[in-house]
Structure 1
């Protein structure tokens, strides 16, 4: 039975920053060293955002305080079969 040598996605936009409604193009690369039995390959797409910042405040006596803020938001998550039982 074969072993997996490489499994990655090459995007035409390698920066990985996308705008709403933009089409994302790329290709899935799967390299095996021999035949391998598999039922399915599926990709899961996630749209999410993470933000973090620090605010600095100095009071009238010269003391400095730091306040950290952060947030995360999930916009979507979708799995798509690309090979096998659910794919082509």
Structure 2
């Protein structure tokens, strides 16, 4: 348990950051799920629109430190290739 004032403050800050990061991660996952659902339905226009909406959210997660840069790049690459394959 935190004893010193500094460690108590760090514990409070960690709780706040955890809540913010959790909300941001949830929002990103929601956008990614919308892309997955559009791909599953076979609607390429909806999938492209959902992908366009998801990309800035995912990259914002990178700049805020929620996801690693390579993780976001991998997710975007795989999703975009799947959306592109719907055209064929």
Question: Which of the five TM-score ranges fits, normalised by the shorter chain?
Answer: under 0.3
Structure with greater proportional strand content: 1
Structure with greater proportional helix content: 2
Q: Find the structure with the greater CA-based Rg.
A: 1
**What is the TM-score normalised by the length of structure 1?**
0.26
**What is the TM-score normalised by the length of structure 2?**
0.26
